[in-house]
Amino acid sequence: MSNWETRVGMIVCWALLCASPQAAQAQAKLTAGSSWVNELGSVLTINTVAANGLMTGTYVTKVGCDAGRPQPMTGWYYGGSSGGAITFSVNWQSCNSVTSWSGQYNYSNNSFQTLWYLTAAAAPTWNGITAGTDTFVPQNTAK
């Protein structure tokens, strides 16, 4: 076997073991054009994901101020070998507040869990920041 044939064989072997279709599909699920819904019915739509991880899109909350009105979303996504890191924020201009989510994407169950903080634009008070958790699943699989 020639040196060239050996190299080709190694590349094919790597492609089969390390870049299987299942792995490629799993890593491609949190992509531009996808929509995600949390347990309260709020919807995150990812319009773009740049090569550097910068995300843009919209967020439609089902609760509180601006419920039902799409708001611009900006964030970051980094996909690792078995999961990803995601963070995004929404500026609720008519509500005088911002919310930021930060969490981890799980390839195995195609969902991501986040912690969120909603901060009111006001003088600091004991209740000026609210915190919580959200789990997001693909919109077409939500119940």
pLDDT digits (tens, 9 = 90+) for 54-97: 999 999 999 999 999 999 999 999 998 888 999 999 999 999 99
Report if residue 1 sits inside a domain: no
- Number of structural domains the chain divides into: 1
Its domain, for residue 35, covers 29-141
The token pair at 77 is 């996504």
Report if residue 21 sits inside a domain: no
Report if residue 15 sits inside a domain: no
pTM attached to this predicted model: 0.77
Report if residue 109 sits inside a domain: yes
End-to-end C-alpha distance for the chain, whole angstroms: 56
pLDDT at residue 1, as a whole number: 54
| DSSP state for residue 5 in the 8-state scheme | H
